[in-house]
């Protein structure tokens, strides 16, 4: 029975979903924050409360449009009482620690917490909890312990592919074996290569180049590193493309591109 003396937090409560996008943003007061967007299993898109990293006065900046965050020094870490550190701790305790560490080591040179794409594709159960956080009093400008309600991951549900209907296997049309003199680029059929649903939004020429990258690398981690440092045909980083950013952390996508 519902408690008639409890109130609506204004936050989505008790739900399962997958993180579909993630980026570092600079807020109005100059503070940087990690912004997550999830797709709940009920179909609702959930924009999470930005998770504060710290301001430029603490050395924090993003020089690549929010893909990564860096401090004043190479080894600067988040403050233990920052919102982003609290979120990462909660995600690790929910059961995601092994996957977060695997991604951090294999994809991001042990700098995973400072790459927004670390979170894309992870599934969690979310609940609203009451915690004590430091908030600035707008009148006195002093920082005070304040009781607030926040939405946190309480159970890790594994990696996910958004929705089952988006898991269409990649299909490559049968093709004639090319003459030996043809190059690898010539062997890729640019008109018959079918994009799976999760590849929507990737230009066809970029898909061909990504397939080449996958064929050139035997290991998924090496391929992911090449994509993260690579440039698309429009001159921008590959990970500026939301779909590429969502897929690069999935070995299944790497396997599909090599198929």
DSSP string, 182-245: S-HHHHS-TTTBPPPGGGTT--HHHHHHHHHHHHH-SSHHHHHHHHHH-B-TTSSBGGGSHHHH
SS3 call for 154: strand
pLDDT of residue 188: 36
> Residue 105 has what pLDDT?
93
How does DSSP assign 36-75, residue by residue?
EEEEETTS-EEEPPPEEEEEGGGT-B-SSTTSB-B-SSTT
| Lowest-confidence pick of 4-13, 141-150, 228-237 | 4-13
CA dihedral 155, 149, 117, 250 (to 10 degrees): 20
How far apart are the C-alpha atoms of 129 and 90, rounded to whole Å? 11
CA 112 to chain centre: 10
Token look-up 């649903």 returns 197
* Residue 166 pLDDT grade (very low, low, confident, very high; cuts 50, 70, 90): very low
Tell me the C-alpha distance between 95 and 158, whole Å.
9
Does the pTM surpass 0.85? The reply is: no
- Quote the tokens at residue 34: 């990690």
Give the span between the Cα atoms of 41 and 18, in whole angstroms.
8
pLDDT by residue (tens digit) across 60-76? 999 999 999 999 988 89
Whether residue 3 lies inside any domain: the answer is no
Residue 148: count of CB within 10 angstroms of its CB: 12
Report whether 35 contacts 23 (CB < 8 A).
yes
The strand pairing partners of 61, in sequence order, are 70
Residues 119 and 200 in one domain: no
What is the pLDDT confidence band of residue 89, given thresholds at 50, 70 and 90?
A: very high
Q: Do residues 152 and 242 both lie within one domain? A: no
Contact between residue 12 and residue 44 where contact means Cβ atoms under 8 Å apart: yes
In this structure, are 120 and 183 located in the same domain?
Answer: no
**pLDDT class of 185 with cuts at 50, 70, 90:** very low
**144 and 38 together in one domain:** yes
Q: 140 and 209: one domain? A: no
Looking up tokens 């940087």 gives 32
- Together in a domain, 130 and 212: no
Check whether residue 43 and residue 27 sit in a common domain.
yes
Look at the chain and report how many structural domains it folds into. Answer: 2
Instruction: Give 1 or 209, the one with higher predicted confidence.
Output: 209
Question: Is 209 in contact with 250 (CB distance < 8 Å)?
Answer: no
Would residue 147 count as lying in a domain?
Answer: yes
Q: Write out pLDDT tens, residues 106-162.
A: 999 999 999 999 999 999 999 998 876 666 677 777 767 777 788 999 999 998 653
Tell me, what's the pLDDT at 135?
66
Together in a domain, 78 and 170: no
* Structural domain that includes position 193: 166-258
pLDDT score for 198: 43
Q: What is the DSSP letter of 79?
A: -
Digit-coded pLDDT (tens) for 32-55:
999 999 999 999 999 999 999 988
Report the pLDDT value the prediction gives residue 202, as an integer from 0 to 100: 87
CA distance 150 to 154: 12
């Amino acid at each position: 029975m519902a408690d008639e003396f409890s109130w609506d937090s204004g936050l989505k409560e008790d739900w399962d979903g997958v993180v579909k996008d993630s980026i570092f943003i600079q807020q109005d007061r100059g503070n940087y924050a990690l912004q997550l967007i999830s797709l709940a299993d009920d179909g609702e898109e959930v924009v999470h409360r930005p998770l504060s990293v710290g301001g430029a006065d603490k050395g924090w900046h993003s020089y690549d449009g929010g893909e990564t965050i860096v401090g004043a020094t190479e080894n600067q870490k988040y403050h233990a009482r920052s919102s982003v550190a609290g979120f990462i701790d909660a995600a690790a305790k929910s059961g995601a620690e092994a996957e977060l560490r695997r991604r951090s080591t294999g994809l991001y040179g042990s700098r995973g917490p400072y790459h927004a794409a670390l979170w894309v594709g992870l599934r969690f159960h979310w609940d609203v909890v009451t915690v004590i956080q430091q908030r600035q009093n707008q009148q006195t400008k002093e920082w005070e312990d304040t009781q607030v309600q926040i939405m946190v991951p309480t159970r890790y549900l594994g990696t996910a592919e958004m929705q089952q209907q988006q898991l269409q296997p990649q299909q490559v049309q049968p093709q004639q074996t090319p003459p030996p003199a043809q190059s690898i680029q010539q062997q890729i059929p640019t008109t018959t290569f079918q994009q799976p649903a999760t590849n929507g939004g990737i230009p066809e020429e970029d898909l061909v180049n990504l397939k080449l990258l996958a064929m050139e690398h035997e290991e998924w981690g090496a391929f992911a590193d090449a994509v993260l440092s690579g440039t698309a045909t429009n001159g921008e980083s590959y990970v500026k493309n939301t779909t590429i950013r969502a897929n690069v952390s999935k070995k299944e996508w790497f396997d599909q591109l090599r198929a």
